[in-house]
Amino acid sequence: SAVISQKPSRDICQRGTSLTIQCQVDSQVTMMFWYRQQPGQSLTLIATANQGSEATYESGFVIDKFPISRPNLTFSTLTVSNMSPEDSSIYLCSVSGGWGEGANVLTFGAGSRLTVL
Partner 1 sequence: GENVEQHPSTLSVQEGDSAVIKCTYSDSASNYFPWYKQELGKGPQLIIDIRSNVGEKKDQRIAVTLNKTAKHFSLHITETQPEDSAVYFCAASSRNAGNMLTFGGGTRLMVKP
Query: What residues make contact with partner 1 under the rule CB under 8 A?
Result: 4, 41-45, 92, 94, 101, 103-111
Q: How far apart are CA 110 and CA 98, in angstroms?
A: 20
Q: How far apart are CA 117 and CA 107, in angstroms?
A: 30
Minimum CB distance to partner 1, residue 75 (Å): 17
The answer to whether 112 touches 9, Cβ cutoff 8 Å, is yes
Minimum CB distance to partner 1, residue 25 (Å): 13
The answer to whether 78 touches 63, Cβ cutoff 8 Å, is no
Of 75 and 108, CB closest to partner 1? 108
Of 4 and 80, CB closest to partner 1? 4
Residue 40: phi and psi, rounded to 5, are: 70, 15
Minimum CB distance to partner 1, residue 8 (Å): 13
Q: How far apart are CA 93 and CA 107, in angstroms?
A: 9
Of 20 and 37, CB closest to partner 1? 37
Of 23 and 83, CB closest to partner 1? 23
User: Length of the chain in residues, anyone?
Assistant: 117
Minimum CB distance to partner 1, residue 96 (Å): 9
